[in-house]
A and B are shown apart, each in its own frame.
Chain A
Amino acid sequence: MKRFLIILSIVFLSVISAEGRTIKIRVMTMNIKEGGELASHETGPFAECIKEYDPDVISVQEVDNMTIRNGGKDWLSELAADLGMFQFYGKSFTYQDGGFGVGVLCKYPFYKADKVVSYPSGAREPRATAWVYLELPDGNILRIAATHLAVESDQIRVSNIADINNKMFIDDSTPTLLMGDFNADPDSETLQYAMFKWQDIGKGTGDTYPSGTPASRIDYVMGYPKTWKATSYEIVNRPDLSDHCFVVADLEFEY
């Protein structure tokens, strides 16, 4: 009986400690346009921009990895070194003797990472979504994903999301953020499909494309489960760096 009570107490305390915890994190998502071509494929200007906002995690899209046009550099690793962060690259397809894809950067080391490459019938090219698992300094476990959906049609993008969901929701217990360029407006079929599973955390915020004078909202921060809160959500307009605006947000998730 005594042993049973001890076990019961441990279970009860575990439930208590799992509840009432809050994840607080600052995120950033940036489509850097063609491997950072507006900055001559240098990482420095992007690093300076990122440092202004000091995000904990970053989703980067259109990342060149050792391509001819970027001089054979591992762009994401160089950016990680500039920032003192940790990187994971997800290659979508081979391009100019190297790779083209997405990347995740984190202030904290991640202990697990994976990707899915979606290439539905009719798509022009494969699209990668990459994610990492990290333990935050407060002990909370979080999954961060970077994505860039196809440009061709809603039908293909819906297939992209289905592929992402199929692989990512093998684990449906870890709080997750999926960030990137969805190439779709908020009222599109793509977004309607995405929101079966995901929460558009920045719903109702400003347009992100094209930079300079943005006219449509196609860059998103999505959350799972659908109980994330944004305490701030900022559109960063830097036409000198990209044709997309970047997004920076302070987010909270309560267990």
Chain B
Amino acid sequence: MLPFLGCSGLGGSNQNNGGGNKGDSVYVAPDPPAEVNKYNLFFVEFFTRCDSGTLFQDKREMDSVASHIGSSEKTTPLLYFLDRSDACAGSAAPHLEIACSVKKPSHFCQNGLSDDAFEGTGIISNLGFGSCEGLVAGEGKFVSGCTLEVPLYTTTEITFLTCRVDDLDMVRILVEKDSTLLQSNGIVIGCIKDGLAEETADYLKRNFRDFRLTFCNGGMEYRVFILSPVWYVCRETDRKNLSSLTYYNIEIEKLDKLR
């Protein structure tokens, strides 16, 4: 298991209302209860190379992921995120090929545009999608994802969003446009440029509230981050390997009470 390099709760108290420049006041999320409620726990798997390249370098890697998903029966992740599983117009997207082979619903979350491909994250789910959410977060940049009815102790509607953060403007737009979702039932799991992580944490704690931010890794071009409402806490992130690919097993708990 990797240590949390970021923070869940970032200092200060509850002076802010979200969005805008709020100056020097700083938000701190309350510590979550020490005891984990296993009935409110779910996990997702986030495949990424944490760099600027595409996830799949050859067909064998896609086959490995399909085989991995197809055999995950007892401890089933809610979602599989395939970061930078880019799609080309007119060709089957990698996540779609995998989803068809394992007969599970899928969605392509566009994150950006390049000359020859739609850059994005494939999501493969063990549950059906109710709807897909998203917003344009700058020129050719998108934050998008899907909403699921998650079978926790009480069935809970959660919107999972993903994006690649290459500049702070994306974070500003996200917080300004989607603050209600991000403070209620929206969880963003994505990648952020390593050099932007601390700046983003600092921006959020001064301009937003009722959230938790966790980073999974460090020292690479990108870091995996989880931005959730304060009612959710990332309990564990575990880095694992699957043939030549790396994925992060991310365990999240919905909190019934904050302390």
Interface residues of A (CB under 8 A from B): 66, 72-74, 77-78, 80-84, 86-89, 91, 107-115, 132-133, 135, 141
Task: Name the segment of B18-26, B37-45, B104-112, B206-214 touching the other chain.
Answer: B104-112
23 contacts between A and B (CB under 8 A): A66-B103, A74-B105, A77-B96, A77-B99, A77-B105, A78-B100, A80-B96, A81-B96, A84-B90, A84-B91, A91-B128, A107-B89, A108-B89, A109-B87, A109-B118, A111-B110, A111-B132, A112-B133, A112-B144, A113-B131, A113-B132, A135-B136, A135-B142
Given A88-B132, A109-B118, A114-B131, is A74 in contact with B110 using a C-beta cutoff of 8 Å? no
User: Is the pair A112, B132 in contact by a Cβ cutoff of 8 Å?
Assistant: yes
Chain B interfacial residues counted at CB < 8 A: 30
**Which one of B93, B99, B103 lies within 8 Å of A72 (CB-CB)?**
B103
A80 to B97, CA, bound (A): 10
Contact B108 A86 (CB under 8 A): yes
B181 interface hit (Cβ, 8 Å)? no
Whether a CB of chain A sits under 8 angstroms from the CB of B152 is no
Which residue of chain B lies nearest to A77 when distances are taken between CB atoms in the complex?
Answer: B100
- Chain A residues contacting B105 (CB-CB under 8 Å) are 74, 77, 89
> Which of A84, A111, A132, A141 lies at the interface centre, i.e. has the most chain B CB atoms within 10 A of its CB?
A111
What is the CA–CA distance of A86 and B132 in the complex, to the nearest angstrom?
A: 13
A66-B103, A109-B120 known; A114-B90 Cβ under 8 A: no
Which B residues are within 8 Å of any A CB, using their own CB?
Answer: 87-93, 96-97, 99-100, 103-110, 118, 120, 128, 131-136, 142, 144
The SS class assigned to the A binding surface is strand
A110 to chain B, nearest CB (A): 7
Residues of A within 8 A of B93 (CB): 81, 84, 86
Beta-carbon contact of A81 and B134 below 8 Å: no
User: Which residue, of B89, B103, B134, has the highest number of chain A Cβ atoms within 10 A?
Assistant: B89
**Candidates A91, A108, A110, A141; contact of B132 at CB < 8 Å:** A110
Interface centre among A87, A109, A114, A133 (most CB of B within 10 A): A109
Shortest B210–chain A CB gap in Å is 24
Chain A residue with Cβ nearest B131: A114
Cα distance, A243 to B246, chains bound together (Å) = 49
Give, as a whole number of angstroms, the nearest-CB distance from B54 to chain A: 15
A86 and B107 alpha carbons, distance in the complex (Å): 8
**Distance from B220 Cβ to chain A, minimum over Cβ atoms (Å):** 26
Known A-B contacts: A107-B89, A112-B135. Give 19 more (CB < 8 A). Answer: A74-B100, A74-B105, A77-B96, A77-B106, A80-B96, A81-B93, A81-B97, A83-B90, A87-B96, A88-B132, A91-B128, A109-B118, A109-B120, A111-B109, A111-B144, A112-B132, A113-B131, A114-B131, A132-B132
Chain B residues near A112 (CB-CB < 8 A): 132-135, 144
Contacts of B91 in A (CB 8 A): 84
In the bound complex, do residue A109 and residue B110 qualify as a contact, i.e. CB atoms below 8 Å apart?
Answer: yes
